[in-house]
A and B are shown apart, each in its own frame.
Chain A
Amino acid sequence: DIQMTQSPSSLSASLGDRVTITCRASQGIGSYLAWYQQKPGKVPKLLIYAASTLQSGVPSRFSGSGSGTDFTLTISTLQPEDVATYYCQKYNSAPWTFGQGTQVEIK
């Protein structure tokens, strides 16, 4: 099975900072990658699919890039409401594996 590895596991950044989270697949998955945001005590929310397509209603400060094995989620200007755990997920074929998550905090 293809493994999904996110880095870092956690990060602390200042308001207004640019934040980048990396997700690496152990084999190529094309662009079949999604990013989710989960705020504490809340249900996961789809942010980006097809590696770089912003889900409707998601602020434009979020962006995704990559294909094959290496992907990134970028928050261009960190806001207080972005405190959350972010997960990548592959969906080219079963199993639809998630990364282990990246916890984002405000410094």
Chain B
Amino acid sequence: EVQLVESGGGLVQPGGSLRLSCAASGFTFSGYWMHWVRQAPGKGLVWVSRVNRDGSSADYADSVKGRFTISRDSAENTVYLQMNTLRAEDTAIYYCARVTNNGWALEYWGQGTLVTVSS
């Protein structure tokens, strides 16, 4: 069974940093691109970032470019999102997601971890 379990969320002051983790199990982790998607309270889904299978390339939404860094550790079967210079508008539930077997749609999602940026 595919499982994605996020952790690392919490309350942080504006300008602060957090590192989110997403522990993957139930599939060959190195075989899939991984994504982060966020959802502010009561708002829609917003794509944040993706990393390719071996971690050699990544893309970011303009809103987080230069502040967030996605990475992955195949030994730990974990994908990370390092978030720096956090702003109030980064407050959201952050989901990690795995793509489908044969494409790039997001088939499996974690339960999410809440990040609150507030003083």
Contact = CB atoms under 8 A, between A and B. Distances in A.
Interface residues of A, number: 24
A36 B61 contact: no
Contacts of B111: 43
Contacts of B95: 43-44
Which label, helix, strand, loop or mixed, suits the secondary structure of the B interface?
A: strand
A97 B63 CA distance: 12
B67 to A, nearest CB: 15
A49 B102 CA distance: 10
Contact of B44 (A43, A45, A49, A98): A98
Interface in B20-47: 35, 37, 44-47
Contacts, number: 61
A44 B106 contact: yes
B110 A43 contact: yes
A100 B44 contact: yes
Interface in A72-87: 85, 87
Given A34-B105, A43-B109, A49-B100, A94 B46 contact: no
17 contacts: A1-B62, A32-B104, A44-B37, A44-B45, A44-B106, A49-B103, A50-B103, A55-B107, A89-B105, A91-B103, A94-B50, A95-B59, A96-B50, A97-B47, A98-B46, A98-B47, A101-B44
